[in-house]
Amino acid sequence: MDRDGLNAVANGTGGRAFFPKRDTDLPAAFAEIEQELRSQYLIAYSSSNKNRDGAYRRMQLDITNPELQKEQLKFRHRPGYFAKPQ
Residues near 31 by beta carbon (within 8 Å), at least 6 away in sequence: none
Cα 83 → chain centroid: 19
Positive or negative CA dihedral for 51, 52, 53, 57?
positive
Query: Which three-class secondary structure state does DSSP give residue 37?
Result: helix
Give the pLDDT of the chain (86 residues) as one tens digit per residue. Answer: 899 999 999 988 889 999 999 999 999 999 999 998 998 888 888 889 999 999 999 988 888 999 988 998 878 888 899 999 87
Q: Tell me, yes or no, if the pTM score tops 0.85.
A: no
Query: Which three-class secondary structure state does DSSP give residue 57?
Result: strand
Is the CB of residue 47 less than 8 Å from the CB of residue 77?
Answer: no
